Structure 1
Amino acid sequence: MLHEDRLFPAEEKTRAIARRLYDGIKDLPIVSPHGHTQAGWFVRNEPFPDPVTLLVQPDHYVFRMLYSQGISLEELEIPPQRPRPAAGDPAGSKPVKNPHKVWRIFASNYHLFRGTPSRLWLDYVFEKLFGLTERLSAKTADHYYDTIEAKLGEKEFLPRALFERFRIEVLATTDSPLDALADHKAIRESGWKGRIVPTFRPDPAVDPAFPGFFENVAALAKLTNEDTASWRGYLRALQARRQFFKAMGGTATDHGHPTAKTANLDESKAEWLFGKVLEGDADAEHQELFRAQMLTEMARMSLEDGLVMQIHPGSVRNHNAQLHERYGRDMGADIPGPTDYVHALKPLLDRFGNEPGLSIILFTLDETTFGRELAPMAGHYPCLRLGPPWWFFDSPEGMRRFRELVTETAGFYNTVGFNDDTRAFLSIPARHDVARRSDAAFLARMVAEQVLDEDEAVELAQDLTVGLVRKAYRL
């Protein structure tokens, strides 16, 4: 299924350059600084469950495509209003009653993924991990299921063994500010050498629209012995939790706000706004202003404690109201929306934009902003770097467009390499392989067109694979 020259340029001379560049980076370790895997897998180190629980149910790329073709989530046995597990983690989900039936539905509709990055990732997993070389279809469904199920029972497919097989240098999880990080602590105490680090995701305690926000602020007080009913106590509590994450190996924060809006209120106005939020009297405009102020507060804290700040705005979440009502948050109905950065980030940048000790990595779901806003900003402000194409655009074409739109203005060294941002542990090497091939192809064209010398492209390929991500995330 996997051609050795996939994603390389069709023109023979340029393809040969791409192949040489890729050969120099294909076996480098994987640095995965942002994702949604579970530290608990590596504590328990137990076999992953059946193929459906591992590869179909948790993957919104998969089930949103099936849903778009009229296949209900009930048919996929995805339970309503239950926490959706990360890939391979049965916690919080009911056992699949008829996994063979669900798998056959997936296999019979595998043609729907033609031309998508999901197809590239899945084919890689099927062939490289399970030795399956005949295309998945209704005809091969049972063979696939039986082969995968049998392999998952082998010790070579336990989480720690896969971590080492994938040559993962570091793997970051994404965690609530209220998380005790017990699994991270257990890994550190186990003697296992795999490096799993937490990422501080404060949204549950800084977004007034987040379900359970008020309870989360109260829980923050209990965790830190701070008075989170006061503005200063609330900020001290968040600082304390950041320090805890840092002590547990964390190097970054992550902020999934609806927009990139920031604010720079004086203390009295911020205190008034916080009181309005806690009283439950904040309308949508006040909630957005509070989130905006909190991004600036998080930037201030990052300048003090050295944690790298990631901002992931622009997702209109839970767009399908009926699906949201029945199945809850994050069930694949999130849609990209237009996002402003130039005006939205200015209050934060007015205060901290010229601080070289601050590192803010910007992501977008609005590709129109790459050349118009993000590349010029990252090409100027010392604190800004550009994150790789994310979510709907972490594809070969998305990566090519990203490089074409940003390189002339921001160069390569104001970007941060690649991160996979996935719940699907088995797809991590597949996603990194696509990124490495895409970068090799882009650099090969520059060499063929006499924009770069090949020795420069060799060095750049190494930097784009491991150098920039280690530096940007302080790993």
Structure 2
Amino acid sequence: MLKLLGERGTTTGMTQPSHLHPDRLFPASDPARSIARDLHGAVSDLPLISPHGHTDPSWFAQNGRFASPTALFLTPDHYVLRMLKSRGISYDALGIPRKDGRAIETDGRKAWRLFADNYYLFAGTPSKTWVDHSLHAVFGITEELSGATADSIYDAIDAKLSSPELLPRAILDRFKVEVIATTEFALDPLTHHQSMSEQGLIGQVRTTYRPDDVTDPGRAAIVENLHTFGELTGEDISKWDGLINAHRKRREYFRKYGAVATDHGVPTANTADLPFNEKQALLEKVLAGRHDANDAELFRAQMLTEMALLSVEDGMVMQIHAGSRRNTDPLLFDERGADLGADIPGPTDYVGGLKALLGRCGNEPNLQIIMFVLDETTYARELAPMAGYWPSLMIGPPWWFHDSPQGIRRYLDQVVETAGFYNLAGFNDDTRALLSIPARHDVWRREVSGFLANWVAENRLSKASAEEVARHLSYQAAKDAYKIT
């Protein structure tokens, strides 16, 4: 019999874990639930399109065994890490490397036990949904992770990690991942993608061009990075035209390894369209290290417009991820680096922010921009009306903190009536944790099915139309939005 262990490992008395129930996340009303089952059945087995993410490309290039259950579930997942830290659990004890090389926990089992002892903290979070789904779908584990089950689950996972079906590329094939894109910075040599190209793997695994390391003067190494950028491309980046041509060359290089998109992680959506002499003066100020926060914001704003103009040239889809105040814990950043959970959402103005960019090239037929936002107040007020007008704009799926059942419901409720279904970019999982990919797509497909089922039950949409929309949002929308052929 399946059993569910509750908080701190106590038995709840349920005969089936909630995360395994076939009707999980479906509408409560009987007519809509039946329709949702049918819609989900039509999309549940479709291939997965993951056109934006942060999985490690070395996993696919080397196709080696994951070192431990901890390396698979815990250390790459900042969603998990941030929750544990919020309860005072040390990153040292979790085995997260330090820049200074000081001692950390190196026994993966001990870190796993600490995770399991505190797994009750994740009740109500999407992280629990993803981990539970992965444990069951990949390893056949139906018991709840807890202190009492930590070692048995660790052993069950560890015993399977050496099997051929648990190697990274086999996981992609098992879950029908048709396309997955990693994300690399402009200065990245793409060593792993070169290896995959030699192995004939480009197509399923692609790169994405993220130039933040050379477009964000808020980075401490921006001057050094820009000079390296010039050396790498053979361009004189002290001249504005040379800087833009350097980007043009790197974009072309990334396209050799499957890139169809660029990605821009910016604190605001601000754009600018400065006269040439002002752009040149701004660049000189940044290269001299004399820029302040206002200069950094203006440089980022101008570079977003320049990236859009380059997309008009080469057709690469432009992703703008705005509104994250990154690395807000200076101690954590100094000790261990970026992307470890200390990023916090902030307010975002897309209407005012994109005004300069859209005024310059918003009507260009070759431009496609996918807008991502952490500020949910902008869904109905800004993003939906903008995507419902501008042919160059699409709305990205609920992202980061809102990639959850409730987040998807809020998103669909607020954007569909104004933007429609076909101005949405479908779903991408934006993850560093490989096994959460099928789990996240499953949640999206269930929520889409439930949303559409309610519309069918209310006679707002025919069941045949709802199935067509469900298939589109579950699969084809992402392929179309990212121009994947």
In which range does the TM-score fall when normalised by the shorter chain? Answer: over 0.9
Matches within 5 A, 1:228-247: 228-247=237-256
Which residue, out of 237, 249, 262, partners 2:258?
249
Q: In structure 1, how many angstroms separate the alpha carbons of the residues matched to 2:212 and 2:201?
A: 31
Q: In structure 2, how many angstroms separate the alpha carbons of the residues matched to 1:202 and 1:327?
A: 22
Distance 1:422 1:216, change over 3 A: same
Aligned to 1:36: 54
Q: In structure 1, how many angstroms separate the alpha carbons of the residues matched to 2:444 and 2:308?
A: 29
Aligned to 2:384: 375
Matches within 5 A, 1:270-309: 270-309=279-318
Q: In structure 2, how many angstroms separate the alpha carbons of the residues matched to 1:457 and 1:29?
A: 19
Distance 1:239 1:93, change over 3 A: farther
Aligned to 1:181: 190
Contact 2:95 2:104 in 1 (8 A): no
Aligned to 1:56: 74
Q: In structure 2, how many angstroms separate the alpha carbons of the residues matched to 1:327 and 1:47?
A: 25
- SS of the residue corresponding to residue 408 of structure 2 reads helix
**Moved beyond 6 Å, runs of 4+:** 92-95
Q: In structure 2, how many angstroms separate the alpha carbons of the residues matched to 1:40 and 1:94?
A: 25
CA shift, 1:161, in A, is: 1.0
Q: Percent identity?
A: 53
1:338 corresponds to which letter in structure 2? P
Q: Is residue 2:136 matched to residue 1:122?
A: no
Q: Is residue 2:68 matched to residue 1:47?
A: no
2:77 corresponds to which letter in structure 1? D
Q: Is residue 2:477 matched to residue 1:468?
A: yes
CA shift, 1:208, in A, is: 0.9
Aligned to 1:218: 227
Q: In structure 1, how many angstroms separate the alpha carbons of the residues matched to 2:319 and 2:61?
A: 27
Contact 2:93 2:105 in 1 (8 A): no
Contact 1:204 1:211 in 2 (8 A): no
- SS of the residue corresponding to residue 229 of structure 2 reads helix
Distance 1:53 1:146, change over 3 A: same
Q: Is residue 2:413 matched to residue 1:404?
A: yes
Which residue, out of 425, 444, 457, partners 2:434?
425
Unpaired runs of 5+ residues, structure 1, are 83-91
Distance 1:81 1:43, change over 3 A: same
Which residue, out of 108, 116, 121, partners 1:107?
116
Distance 1:194 1:276, change over 3 A: closer
1:117 corresponds to which letter in structure 2? P
Contact 1:53 1:96 in 2 (8 A): no
2:428 corresponds to which letter in structure 1? N
Which residue, out of 363, 372, 375, partners 1:366?
375
Q: Is residue 2:366 matched to residue 1:347?
A: no
Distance 1:93 1:231, change over 3 A: farther
Matches within 5 A, 1:13-32: 13-32=31-50
Q: In structure 2, how many angstroms separate the alpha carbons of the residues matched to 1:95 and 1:32?
A: 33
User: Which whole-Å deviations, capped at 9, do the CAs of 1:26-53 have from their partners, x for residues lacking one?
Assistant: 0000000000012221221110111112
Which residue, out of 324, 347, 352, partners 1:315?
324
Q: In structure 1, how many angstroms separate the alpha carbons of the residues matched to 2:91 and 2:302?
A: 38
Matches within 5 A, 1:57-136: 57-81=75-99, 97-136=106-145
Which residue, out of 396, 407, 413, partners 2:422?
413
CA shift, 1:445, in A, is: 0.5
CA shift, 1:191, in A, is: 3.5
Q: Is residue 2:212 matched to residue 1:203?
A: yes
1:410 corresponds to which letter in structure 2? A
Q: 95-104 vs 404-413, which deviates more?
A: 95-104
Q: 191-200 vs 344-353, which deviates more?
A: 191-200
- SS of the residue corresponding to residue 311 of structure 1 reads strand
- SS of the residue corresponding to residue 35 of structure 1 reads coil
TM-score, L = length of structure 1: 0.96
Distance 1:94 1:246, change over 3 A: farther
CA shift, 1:93, in A, is: 12
User: Which whole-Å deviations, capped at 9, do the CAs of 1:103-145 have from their partners, x for residues lacking one?
Assistant: 1111111111111111110000001101111111111111000
2:310 corresponds to which letter in structure 1? M
1:239 corresponds to which letter in structure 2? R
- SS of the residue corresponding to residue 363 of structure 1 reads strand
Q: In structure 1, how many angstroms separate the alpha carbons of the residues matched to 2:213 and 2:277?
A: 24
Aligned to 2:7: none
Distance 1:96 1:48, change over 3 A: farther
Q: In structure 2, how many angstroms separate the alpha carbons of the residues matched to 1:153 and 1:93?
A: 30
1:138 corresponds to which letter in structure 2? G
Distance 1:235 1:414, change over 3 A: same
Aligned to 2:9: none
Q: In structure 2, how many angstroms separate the alpha carbons of the residues matched to 1:185 and 1:326?
A: 32
Which residue, out of 19, 23, 27, partners 1:9?
27
Aligned to 1:437: 446
Q: In structure 2, how many angstroms separate the alpha carbons of the residues matched to 1:150 and 1:392?
A: 33
1:389 corresponds to which letter in structure 2? P
Unpaired runs of 5+ residues, structure 2, are 1-16
Distance 1:232 1:94, change over 3 A: farther
Q: In structure 2, how many angstroms separate the alpha carbons of the residues matched to 1:192 and 1:343?
A: 42
Q: In structure 2, how many angstroms separate the alpha carbons of the residues matched to 1:109 and 1:178?
A: 39
- SS of the residue corresponding to residue 425 of structure 1 reads coil
Distance 1:290 1:42, change over 3 A: same
Matches within 5 A, 1:381-396: 381-396=390-405
Q: Is residue 2:464 matched to residue 1:446?
A: no
CA shift, 1:193, in A, is: 7.5
Number of aligned pairs?
466
Contact 1:35 1:421 in 2 (8 A): yes
Q: In structure 2, how many angstroms separate the alpha carbons of the residues matched to 1:323 and 1:330?
A: 10
Q: Is residue 2:183 matched to residue 1:165?
A: no
Contact 2:96 2:104 in 1 (8 A): no
CA shift, 1:94, in A, is: 8.8
Aligned to 1:142: 151
